Amino acid sequence: MNIIEQIENQLLPVAIAENVEIIDIEYVKENGQKILRIFIDSDNGVNLDLCARMSNLFGLKLDEEDLLKENYILEISSPGIDRILKKEKDFEKYKGFCIKATTNSAINGQKHFNGNLVAVSGGKIVIDDVTNRIVEIEISNILRANVNTDFNGGENVGKK
């Protein structure tokens, strides 16, 4: 289990108790400083008060468990308009929206996909890609996927 998985396992009970979903976790070094970024969402959206509350709760839990031995900065935020899609339930929530996806291995000679997310089931997604039309992709083959805010000539996120 890597450090990100360990952090998520520690914080998941806290998130569940607060009706918050952990969308993504990054643990990176920037300008010589370690930064732990946790992206959250909730049914009521994410605001500054929620971020502050979760920063406090997550910080206490991380200090209690003492998993991270070095100094770090804890940042809590919403996943933003171009949110990352990782789990099948993430893709399900954004079915009908335009997404971008990059795969680990090529499908029909292509690794970058851009189009309408038309279906999600059984660990797979189906995209109506602007290049190859209908493409089925195993979620396990996806390196990175997110809601596409630039689709249709820069129009905002929305259904196609």
Q: In whole angstroms, what is the distance from residue 24 CA to residue 77 CA?
A: 10
Structure confidence by residue, pLDDT tens digits, 81-139: 878 898 898 899 899 999 999 999 999 899 999 999 999 999 999 999 998 799 999 99
- What number is the average pLDDT over the span 38-45? 92
Residue-range domains of the chain with CATH: 3-77 (3.30.300.70), 88-154 (2.30.30.180)
Q: Which residues, 6+ apart, have CB-to-CB distance to 34 below 8 Å? A: 27, 28, 68, 70, 71, 72, 73
pLDDT band for position 149 (cuts 50, 70, 90): confident
Q: Give the pLDDT score at 153.
A: 39
**Is residue 9 predicted with pLDDT exceeding 90?**
yes
Average pLDDT over residues 64-85: 90
pLDDT for 85 equals: 93
**Residue 65: predicted pLDDT:** 87
CA torsion, points 50, 6, 105, 128, in degrees to nearest 10?
-30
The pLDDT, as a whole number, for residue 151 is 56
Global confidence as pTM:
0.75
Q: Which residues of 119-128 are buried (b: 16+ CB within 10 A; e: fewer)?
A: bbeeeebbbb
